[in-house]
Structure 1
Amino acid sequence: MRSQRLVVGLLAVVLAACVEARGAAPDAGSTPAVDAASPIDAAPHTDAGNLDDAGNLDDAGNLDDAGAPDHDGGRSDGDAGAMSDAAPPPAPELVIAFPPPRSLFTEATLRVLGRAGGVVAVRVNGVLAETDDAFASWTAMVTLAPGENDVEVIAEAADGAVVARRLEIERRDGSLFELGDLAGPIGGELFAISGHALAAIDPVRGTRRVVARWDDAYLDGLVSDGTSLYAVDSDANRVVALDPASGARRVVSDGGARLWWARDLAFDPERARLLVTDYSRRQVLAISLVDGARSVLAPLDPAGPIDVLRGRGEAVVGHGAAVSTLDLETGAVTILSDATHGEGPALSWVYDLVLRADDTLALTGPSLLRIETTGERRGDRTLISGAGRGTGPALGHAVSVRVDPARPGVVWALDIENDAVVEIDLATGDRRWVSREGFGAGPPLGSYEGSLEIEDGRAFVVEPRRVISIDLATGERHEVAVADAALAGLTGGVHVDAAGARAWASASLGEAGALVDVDLASGALRVVSDGTRPEQGVALGHPRALALDPTRRRAVISSGSALVAADVTTGARTLVSSGERGDGPTFTTAADIEIARDGSRAWVVSQLEEAVFEVDLESGRRRVISGPDVGAGPPLVWPTGLVRAATDDALWVVVPTLLGDAWGLYRVDLATGERTQISGMAAGAGPSEYRASRVAHDGVAGRVFVTTPGALNALLAIDTTFGQRVIVSK
């Protein structure tokens, strides 16, 4: 008995000491809530993101099936309620909203944003983060060195417990994420223009450097006279000379015939002038380098690429799928090669030309052709490099070509789809990348406007002939499905199931549309609903967008001014809304669709009406909730994509246009229709002129992801508070 009392006494002393040691520890059952006024969305639930069946964030967002933080974010599985005095205090919770785990940025400073709970401090690279709500939401500025940067975020609890997260952020000052034209070489370097920047590219080492940046002009076209560079500032109606060493600009011409949209420039050495093709005015202008005087040399519709060769009295010009000669004295235009002139591979749209002594090289995007300019074979075409000729990486969308004066048998092509400068051997057609700015391994994203869906930590991008999966943590890309010849193309939209194993996509079957089941493991595609089969229900024309109605297991597909539902199992089709079903204003075409969680209504974005419509999915009734006459704020100029915000009180809408400063990401308030530009020309740092076409989110509040075909050909993440943009995969 005495020994038992001794043991009890010792235990009491130990327990008292433990209680005293814990003293100021926080209440084990309390976790600070996210302030509703926080600049970051507080409710992370989305059917497009990583959520469990209870609607809580999973490992990527730090909640387990019981609605409590998981092993990464804090509490263990089980009862999320109060704990006994003997239970250890909860581990601190930490969510990084922006940027994603691995990203590419173009600026020297980046703001990191996130949320935390049960903490007394959040430090980013050792510096205390800023907060006004006890770290329920926090931000921190980090300075990035050129190259790779490791950023460590640590959340600390009162008892000393910590949770750490690591970010990998690469900074590339020299990256040109939207190369526009190629000129040179000058001093062994090629030069590329990118609207607001001039870059030099070393074709031997493959390195790139920014020569100059400017915010007061957007320059198009680029040509060299051997010592200087020239470009056009169409907005200011100016032609400027650029110093290749410093990028310093000098006005060459700022009066006379108006320049609207400079398509290309050529240097005419014997007449000391520039020739500029104006796509909007459909003409070729001659601009003196002596006094800046301008004159119209010739009409040209459409006005495309142009090139001049010293000693020749004529230039070559491209206009659509045709190449002509242009008399440099009279302005006379004569067809050289097109569908009815010359034999050989058919010409598609001509993006650039190089005039040589006996022939012309014509670049048509994925192919380089030779066009004979003299003799009996004048106008005949021969494939130099492209599908079926030449080894090496295929040309994606090449838009500019320049000769290497030191090696007459070699040219350089600028491939904007692969963001690469490609060396092409004219004898063999072989291709090799001499400079490329990708991010993340795998096949490049194409330049076609496709669909975007995010599920299970992966983004799925649908292009006309394939489905690409992108790992959001690493940026790695994988081709998971390829359309066969039976499908004209995967067009419209895509929905991926919660497990990330199966998807439904809309497709074209000639003039009709279809719903396709995609097995993401095997890549197999199966037509579920065939628009050419009337026994399956109402007609389905060419599809534009798709969303899944989870309450009815049907896909809602936009086709013209109609919304058509197709059962994902049987393929049976019914009319949801059109001019023949449901009252209210009609839309011309729904560019994108988003369906409410309860399946009661859908929102569609219409380009011609520049508006967001709400559609009742039972009655088909339509109403405009934001547009020219509804809601305040800047207009939605030709919008192409939308997604519901995590908080359910707003929509995110993307505008890809380059008209003025309208492009970017917009927030549309569902209650008032008010529109606010979150990211664009005047909002947010990062790659500019990104021309987003589709938008989605992954369930982590405070960020969305966008695709940028035809510009960056990349997947970007945008923070929805400050509008910052980073590249996740390219």
Structure 2
Amino acid sequence: MKAALKRMFYIVLIAFSTGCDLQGEKLQGSFEDSFGTLDGWSLKSMPSGASTSSTSPQIQATVSDQLDGYTAKVFSDSSCTSLLGSATINDGDVEISNLDLSSNYQTPTAITLYGRIDTSAGRKSDCTDLGLSFTYFPDNQLIVRASAFDLSSDKTVAYMISDSLDQLFKVELATGFRTLISGDDVGEGPEFVKPLGIAVSSDEQFAYVTDYNLAALIKVNLETGLREIISDSSTGSGTAFLSVNQVALSQDQTEAYISDNGLSSIVRVNLASGARSELSGGSVGSGVSLAEPGPLYLSASGTELYLIDTNLQDLIRIDVGTGNRTTISSDAVGTGTDFSNPAGLDFSADELTAYVSDADLGLFSVSVSSGNRTIISDNSTGTGDTFIDPGTIKWMSSSGALVLDATRDILVAVDLTNGNRTPEATSSTGGGPSFVSPTGLAVNDAVTKAYVIDSVLDALFVIDLVTAERTIVSNATTGTGTAFTAPQDLILNASETVAYVIDAVERAIFAVDLSNGNRTIISSGSVGTGTGFSAPFSITLNDTYTHAYVTDFGSNILYKIDLSNGNRTVASSGSVGTGTNFVLATELSLNQAESKAYVADTGPDCVYEVDIATGDRTVLSNSSTGTGPTLGDTTGVKLSADETFLYLTDANKDSLFQIDVLTGNRTLLSGPDVGFGPLFDSPQDTAFGSTSSKVLVIDANVRALFEVDTSTGVRRIVSR
């Protein structure tokens, strides 16, 4: 190939030696062709089209060694004016590794690469499209949301599968850089639908992924992202998959072993043909019957396969030759705390000790000879943030293991000698306790702090919008008074000394002292007069901070509450006011004059304008009122300061909308197809940011606080 390339460059060299002008059409075209049509220009360690948080992705190519000493340059624009990086050509090889994306991009950006070759005399080739592109996500903006992972042979890279994003990521453990290498628009082939298990080949060329919804084993090329089904109902013969779970590879990499919950067995798959046969379970092998086989571990000899049965809550050994099963540890074998919800399995190098992560209890060590179980890291053993949802575990050394905490989206390094837990690779932004299911959002007037309700943790957080640090202000162990049970929404008073929180289970409004977290119920079935709450959902205050307005999706009532005594008055309902009745009244906002309320109703997917004086309801926007994309599951609603637009989130369409309050016209500001950045997955509430074009959004499934630039739709995570 190099000989052919050298011939391509002879005309260029002649041009240099005779002093011809490289900008001449003929010579310029030759130089351009030699640069732009070369095979092999690639992004090192990731496919073109990938998303990455790496600040300096490497670009490589092979050119003619007649260009040695010249400079290959890479740019982000078609005129080759915005230089990203460069390298001197040496022996026909190009490797550009001095990109510094963090200095050039502060928000997620799609980058197309263009190239040029410069001579030592200052002559330049044409600016050429290299056919390479990627999306750069700064800081921790590229979210993984991993559900399982496997390690490279040298244990420096984690390959992480996400069953919620349907994507495969590569994570460099030393730097924390994350790269989307397959899924969505990266790599060709059938898309993942619900990938559950992953095993990486020893040469790190392929990953084998089980997909629950496809009932298939998929081979993924880790260089190109190409996906290929190698075994399913139409590929390969033999026992049909029912509910594939986890996967392990044979020592010679010719077979895969797959746990199948539907079959209650282990299926052996020939990786060349896709042929399937039962290895153990059903009528194959003796011993305890499998119920829901899950995580797998193949011994170094390749003769024994260990598994966790998540239904039996047993650690079981299978003879690969016969399929016979032996219980290694269970409630009847071995001593110690019984497993409760075992989720991950790995072994020490000598295979004398098994390590089992338990989503309820923490991390166990298990003696293979006796079955005795010992909890070595949990809420009371070891220091560091406690596990929330420990899953996949990988043994690293005699003193350490990596555990995936899926809820926190973090790899935790566990010291096996004392149980101490340290973040190893995380996509967190800001420190402090992690959200689990944030639903309500309020921001102070200075836009320096955001307050967030978490309906699973039953807690009120404060987030410093400068540092992204999260602090729990009030929960069962912080502050006095009745504890939250199902907090939904909140609003702040003018002086930022009190947060008013509604709780759907307590059926009450709490006043929370923000200086100490103390909670006082100010309106409930036993505090204040009037019709009691059924399932209060959203709260706002009038401009004088004397009254609160609350929607109740249980009784479909809009309440007005006197904050001085907790008395409740029905402002609008099926019996108060005219117009279409509420079906599932959820979010609301109020104008400054306290004459109009805007109420979202997720039953008919519409927004009502409510006359506060009469309770009359008028449809402001729905599928037949106003233009633009229709609403799906409206959550947060906020009225702009100039009262011309409503900003609202839609948990069904994972989008941020704007509604014109005069016409009801709807505009999609940010969502899956509008704007770059990490995607919403269940946006719940909104608040206004530091400028008129910035809106803050809280998302329950991503467990993050976003900032959205409404002029571009670009999203970035503020705290997670």
**Which category describes the TM-score, using the shorter chain as reference length?**
0.5 to 0.7
| 1:517 paired to 2:508 | no
2:248 matches 1:267 = yes
Aligned partner of 1:201 in structure 2 is: 171
Q: Map of 1:217-366 to 2, 5 A cutoff? A: 217-218=191-192, 220-227=195-202, 228-231=206-209, 239-244=217-222, 246-253=223-230, 255-256=232-233, 264-267=245-248, 269=250, 272-275=255-258, 288-292=270-274, 306-310=295-299, 311-312=303-304, 315-318=307-310, 352=344, 361-364=356-359
- For normalisation by structure 1, the TM-score amounts to 0.64
Query: In the alignment, which residue of structure 1 is the partner of 2:540?
Result: 547
| Map of 1:704 onto structure 2 | 695
CA distance in 2 between counterparts of 1:331 and 1:616 reads 73
Q: Aligned partners of 2:405, 2:520: CA distance in 1, in Å?
A: 34
Aligned residue number for residue 693 of structure 1: 684
CA gap of 1:715–1:534, structure 2 versus 1, over 3 A, is closer
Are the counterparts in 2 of residues 652 and 665 from structure 1 also a CA contact under 8 Å? Answer: yes
Structure 2 gaps of 5+ residues are 1-51, 56-81, 85-98, 107-135, 186-190, 283-288
In 2 relative to 1, CA 572–447 (structure 1 residues): closer, same or farther, beyond 3 Å?
A: same
AA partner of residue 502 (structure 1): V
Q: How does 1:548-697 map to 2 (within 5 A)?
A: 548-550=541-543, 553-563=547-557, 564-579=559-574, 581-582=576-577, 584-628=579-623, 630-657=625-652, 662-697=653-688
Q: Determine whether 1:400 maps to 2:368.
A: no
Q: Does the CA contact (< 8 Å) of 1:240 and 1:249 recur in 2?
A: no
Structure 1 pair 535/352, CA: closer, same or farther in 2 (3 Å)? Answer: same
Given that 1:107 and 1:686 are in contact with CA atoms closer than 8 Å, whether structure 2 keeps it comes out as: no
**CA–CA distance in structure 1, aligned partners of residues 241 and 626 of structure 2:** 32
| Selected match of 2:380 from 388, 400, 413 | 388
Contact 1:256-1:294 at 8 Å conserved across structures: no
Deviations 1:406-465 (A, max 9, x none): 52553212234544311123453221122233333x414412133101122121112244
Query: How far apart, in 2, do the equivalents of 1:264 and 1:353 lie?
Result: 14
Alpha-carbon deviation of 1:373?
Answer: 9.0
Instruction: Give SS of 2:587's match.
Output: strand
Shift of the 322–177 alpha-carbon distance from structure 1 to 2, 3 Å rule, reads same
Judging changes above 3 Å, is the alpha-carbon distance between structure 1 residues 341 and 498 closer, same or farther for their aligned structure 2 residues? farther
Residues 257 and 627 from structure 1, CA distance in 2 versus in 1: closer, same or farther, beyond 3 angstroms? farther
Residues 366 and 394 in structure 1, CA contact (< 8 A), matched pair in contact too:
no
What is the DSSP-based 3-state SS (H/G/I as helix, E as strand, rest coil) of the residue aligned with 2:487? coil
C-alpha distance in 2, partners of 1:303/1:648? 56
Q: Does the 8 Å contact 1:518/1:525 carry over to 2?
A: yes
Q: 1:270-297, CA deviations, whole angstroms, 9 ceiling, x for partnerless residues?
A: 8923536689x99998765332357999
Q: Is the 8 A contact 2:216 2:244 kept in 1?
A: no
Q: 2 CA distance for matches of 1:641 and 1:261?
A: 40
User: 1:567 offset after TM fit, Å?
Assistant: 2.3
Q: Does the 8 A contact of 2:610 with 2:616 survive in 1?
A: yes
Change (3 A) 1:416 1:615: farther
2: CA distance, partners of 1:488 / 1:382 = 34
Matched, 1:415 2:382: no
Question: Deviation at 1:550?
Answer: 3.5
Is this contact kept in 2: 1:547–1:557, CA < 8 A? no
- Structure-2 residue corresponding to 1:505: 501
**Residue 538 of structure 1, aligned match among 531, 546, 556:** 531
The equivalent residue for 1:486 is 482
Q: Which amino acid counterpart does residue 182 of structure 1 have in structure 2?
A: F
Percent identity, aligned pairs only, is 22
Structure 2 residue aligned with 1:475: 468
User: Relative to 1, partners in 2 of residues 1:254 and 1:528: Cα closer, same or farther, differing over 3 Å?
Assistant: same
Is contact 1:238–1:254 with CA below 8 Å preserved after alignment? yes
1:522 alignment partner, SS class:
coil
The answer for the alignment partner of 1:17 in structure 2 is: none
What CA deviation, in whole Å up to 9, does each residue of 1:498-536 have, x standing for no partner? Answer: 33232211136xx432211122233332221233x1764
Cα distance, 1:709 vs structure 2: 3.3
Say if 1:307 and 1:317, in contact at 8 Å, map to a contact too: no
- Secondary structure of the corresponding residue to residue 403 of structure 2: strand
CA distance in 2, matches of 1:383, 1:729: 32
Question: Per the alignment, do residues 268 and 491 of structure 1 end up closer, same or farther by CA in structure 2, a change over 3 Å counting?
Answer: same
Find the residue that maps to 2:502 and give its secondary structure.
Answer: strand
Deviation string for 1:372-398 (max 9, x for gaps)? Answer: 999797xxx754422222112222x33
Report the CA distance between 1:717 and its aligned residue.
0.8
Q: 2:423 is matched with which residue?
A: 433
Residue 671 of structure 1 deviates from its aligned partner by: 4.2
CA contact (8 A) 2:600 2:634 kept: yes
Stretches of structure 1 that go unaligned for 5 or more consecutive residues are: 1-104, 109-140, 152-168
The Cα offsets for residues 683-719 of structure 1, whole Å up to 9 and x where unpaired, read as: 11112355422211136321211123332x3221111
The residue that corresponds to 1:714 in the other structure is 704
Do the aligned residues in 1 keep the contact of 2:475 with 2:484 (CA within 8 Å)?
no
Partner in structure 1 of residue 102 of structure 2 = 147
Aligned partner of 1:46 in structure 2 is none
Matched ranges for 1:44-193 at <5 A:
145-147=100-102, 171-172=138-139, 175-189=142-156, 190-193=158-161
Cα distance 1:376–1:206, how it changes in 2: closer, same or farther (>3 A)? closer
Matches of 1:174 and 1:667 in 2, distance apart? Answer: 24
The alignment covers a number of residue pairs equal to 559
- Is residue 318–residue 352 contact of structure 1 (8 Å, CA) maintained in 2? no
Q: RMSD over aligned Cα, in angstroms?
A: 4.8
Deviation for aligned residue 1:565: 3.5
Q: Choose the corresponding residue for 1:462, options 446, 453, 456.
A: 453
Structure 1, 584-593 or 459-468: larger mean CA deviation: 584-593
Aligned-partner Cα distance in 2 for 1:361–1:307: 11
Q: Partners in 2 of 1:148 and 1:560 — Cα distance?
A: 51
2-structure distance, mates of 1:376, 1:467: 43
Name which of structure 1's ranges 294-303 and 679-688 shifts more when overlaid on structure 2.
294-303
Quote the residue 1:496 is aligned against.
492
Q: Which has the higher contact order (CA 8 A, sep 6+)?
A: 1
CA distance in 1 between counterparts of 2:281 and 2:539 reads: 46
Helix, strand or coil: the match of 1:147? helix
Residue 577 of structure 1: how far off its partner (Å): 3.9
Change (3 A) 1:107 1:226: closer
How far residue 624 of structure 1 moved from its aligned partner, in angstroms, is 4.3
The SS at the match of 2:438 is: coil
